[in-house]
Structure 1
Amino acid sequence: MKILFDNCTAPVMASTLDGFIGSFGHRAFHMKDVPGFPNGRHSSDLEWIDYLRAQSEIWVFVSDDGRILKNRAERAALRGAKLHGFVLAAAYERTPLHQVAATIVWKWPEIERVTELIAPPSMHEIPIGKSVKLRSLPL
């Protein structure tokens, strides 16, 4: 499985998670490090969604922008791409980066379990609290 961190997330988030999940055979990338996007790091949400849809590997994405669920075209593209998506809760905006990275690593087993048990497409919110479960979001 490959995990994409979009432009609304810090690149260090992808490299931190990649270091952790690499031993499980998974990879994490920030958008700036994925070759093949039509406009590189500046690809629109619709462009990177379409790119991931066309790939043979299983892709999951993480975003810090909940607005992706408010745009009708992007929601339709996400449903059509059959991706698992995870959106960081709004409280992450006021949280130091090292704590955000630690929480995502802490939540990794739950994120992985969701992608195994639920058929895509799906969207979940990653809550700020370590003891709080992922919250399913309407797609």
Structure 2
Amino acid sequence: MKVLVDENLPPALARALDALFSGKHEVIHIRARFGPGVKDVDWIGELSAEGQWIVISGDRRITRNQAEYVAFQNSNLVGFFLSAGLYKSPLIKQMERLMALWPTIEQQASIVAGGAMFELPMKSSRIRQLRL
């Protein structure tokens, strides 16, 4: 599985996940791939063309901006968005929740079509699909 960590989350999180899953998954921070400030529609289009990418994001703006939302919905990407409470939590809590939810992230990413978006909860072990 190829995983992109977006610009609203720290590069250290991507590096830690990449080290933990070395040989099984490729995890990269968006800045390492595209540099700082890349437009969402640009990286969505490029990664979609490659296929098999999932996105871990703290940026729910993608779900509210029409152009970004349409680009993501029509992509081959699967998105996992931190809930508001989880996004505001310290990095260690975010990492803890990602580790607890990782098997679910892997399973969902393997069974859903591109364009699907899910919310990663602060406490529950169940993720919910974002329907907009």
- Normalised by the length of structure 2, the TM-score is 0.92
How far the C-alpha of 1:79 sits from its partner, in A, is: 1.7
Q: Percent identity?
A: 34
Q: Contact 1:3 / 1:27 at 8 angstroms: preserved in 2?
A: yes
Assess if the C-alpha contact under 8 Å between 1:126 and 1:134 holds in 2: yes
Report the counterpart of residue 100 of structure 1 in structure 2: 94
Structure 1 gap ranges (5+) = none
1:17 match: 17
Distance 2:96 2:19 in 1: 12
Unaligned runs of 5+ in 2: none
The count of residues paired between Structure 1 and Structure 2 equals: 132
The 2-side partners of 1:122 and 1:13 are apart by: 23
Q: Which letter maps to 2:22?
A: G
Q: C-alpha distance in 1, partners of 2:104/2:43?
A: 25
SS of residue matched to 1:3: strand
> What is the rounded CA distance, in whole Å, between the counterparts of 1:108 and 1:48 in structure 2?
23
Is 1:138 the counterpart of 2:131? The answer is yes
Distance 2:108 2:21 in 1: 16
Matches within 5 A, 1:1-139: 1-23=1-23, 25-34=24-33, 37=34, 40-55=35-50, 57-129=51-123, 131-138=124-131
Query: Alignment partner of 2:85: what SS?
Result: helix
SS of residue matched to 1:132 = coil
- Quote the RMSD (CA, aligned, Å): 1.4
